[in-house]
């Protein structure tokens, strides 16, 4: 399960190709946010034709937003612009470049609408679900992860060993249990779609109410490359702007840009 807008559509193709090569036959649900720039029908058909398994898409017109704008509260933009340029001297300019505290309503929406997607799927699905950020690259089979999810309510990568935290909400394993359904409904109920950190708060508030079983996942399932990407990792995440400049990630990404030129 993932969310994608027009800007990130090339990354969705990479994600789909990486699944095709390393964990085929997984069913894919992609929420396509069509706002400002639409993803065309021909692009969607090309995406579907590149995958041997099932791809279900949900077109989201995102009518809750009126005009695009950047959050500029509390001098956020001016503080960002004053940051030393040297910090970015080795980073390539990219359409995906972002800063965690400088965000648009669209990026916040795409981050937080995942609870709605999961709730829609939990209504009629009975298989374990895995929500992942669209800048994820799947590098190995997801079989063991599916087994972990099927034995609990939720599966998450904790921020610290042994401590339940929700900072890494870009990867959520959801088993189809009564408790997980209750939990995801509770999380969506309290969600502020336009707060970039709203998912973390909604996660925590719902946990305090429902107390679901949560299985901790290894960083190998959400390797963000902070100390270099691990070749043993099941998935690499292009977290933040690392997707724009990290040579390991970019090299891995290029392997899956064209599925016809790639082999598992």
Q: What is d(CA 99, CA 118) in angstroms, rounded to the nearest whole number? A: 26
* Residue pair 17/50 in contact by the 8 Å Cβ criterion: yes
Number of H helices, E strands in the chain: 10, 9
Main-chain phi, psi angles of 175, to 5 degrees: -85, 150
* Residue pair 8/135 in contact by the 8 Å Cβ criterion: yes
Tens digit of each residue's pLDDT, the chain (264 residues): 999 998 899 999 999 999 999 999 899 999 999 876 789 999 999 999 999 999 999 998 866 554 444 443 444 444 444 443 444 444 444 444 444 444 577 888 888 899 999 999 999 888 999 999 999 999 999 999 999 999 999 999 876 655 556 666 789 999 999 999 999 999 999 888 888 778 888 888 999 999 999 999 999 999 999 899 999 999 999 988 899 889 999 999 999 997 654 544
pLDDT at 240: 82
Tokens, residue 19: 């699944």
- The DSSP H or E segment spanning 29 is strand 28-33
Main-chain phi, psi angles of 131, to 5 degrees: -90, 135
Q: Nearest-CA neighbor of 248 among 226, 264, 263? A: 226
Q: Identify the burial level of 83 via C-beta atoms within 10 angstroms of its C-beta, where 0-12 means exposed, 13-18 middle and 19 or more buried.
A: exposed
- The DSSP H or E segment spanning 236 is strand 235-237
The gap between the terminal CA atoms of the chain, to the nearest Å, is: 22
What pairing do the DSSP bridges indicate for beta strands 2-5 and 28-33?
parallel
């Amino acid at each position: 399960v993932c969310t994608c807008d027009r800007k990130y559509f090339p990354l969705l193709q990479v994600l789909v190709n990486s699944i095709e090569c390393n964990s085929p036959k997984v069913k894919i649900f992609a929420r396509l946010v069509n706002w400002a720039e639409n993803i065309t029908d021909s692009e969607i058909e090309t995406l579907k034709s590149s995958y041997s398994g099932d791809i279900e898409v949900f077109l989201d017109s995102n009518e809750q937003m009126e005009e695009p704008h950047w959050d500029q509260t509390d001098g956020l933009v001016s503080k960002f612009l004053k940051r030393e340029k040297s910090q970015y001297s080795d980073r390539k300019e990219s359409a995906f470049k972002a800063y965690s505290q400088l965000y648009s309503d669209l990026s916040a929406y795409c981050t937080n609408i995942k609870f709605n997607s999961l709730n829609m799927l939990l209504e009629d699905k009975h298989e374990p679900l895995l929500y992942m950020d669209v800048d994820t690259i799947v590098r190995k089979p997801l079989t063991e992860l599916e087994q972990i999810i099927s034995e609990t309510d939720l599966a998450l990568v904790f921020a610290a060993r042994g401590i339940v935290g929700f900072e890494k909400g870009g990867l959520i394993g959801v088993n189809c249990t009564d408790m997980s359904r209750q939990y995801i409904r509770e999380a969506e109920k309290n969600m502020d779609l336009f707060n970039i950190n709203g998912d973390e708060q909604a996660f925590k508030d719902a946990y305090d109410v429902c107390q679901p079983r949560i299985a901790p996942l290894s960083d190998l399932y959400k390797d963000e490359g902070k100390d270099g990407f691990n070749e043993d990792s099941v998935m690499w995440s292009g977290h933040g702007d690392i997707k724009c400049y990290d040579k390991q990630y970019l090299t891995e990404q290029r392997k899956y840009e064209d599925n016809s030129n790639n082999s598992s």
